[in-house]
Amino acid sequence: MYRENVLRIIPGRKPLNYKSILRPVGRVEIDAELCKGCNYCIEFCPNDILEPSGKINTQGYQYPHVPPEKADDCVACGMCERICPELAIRVFDHRYVHVGASK
């Protein structure tokens, strides 16, 4: 009802066509041996993709990982790559999928 009212009041407005909207998807590669376990990437990922892996590298730091169930949730924003002080993260394989597309 609200939607119909808005469309009546503002005749020029049209609902979004979700089928035409694309969003980026990326893959994240983490060099576990470069990681110092600061967790900046985990804190600043806007989509909460990165998590502590529970594994320790040879220097004794716990490095992050992307859980398999979140692999397609990365929006390739590049924040983790830019914020990592050790240059341990690389975002690659940028592609686009339709919003709401099944994984």
- Footprint of ligand SF4 (CB under 6 A): 26, 28, 30, 35-41, 45-47, 49-50, 63-64, 74-80, 84, 86, 88-89, 91
d(CA 22, CA 49): 19
- Taking the complex as a whole, the smallest distance from the CB of residue 20 to ligand SF4 amounts, in Å, to 23
Closest CA to 96 of 29, 34, 21: 21
- Give the pair of three-digit tokens for residue 86: 């050790």
Nearer to ligand SF4, 6 or 24 (CB): 24
User: Residue 27 CB, nearest distance to ligand SF4 (Å)?
Assistant: 9
Least separation in angstroms between residue 23's CB and ligand SF4 is 11
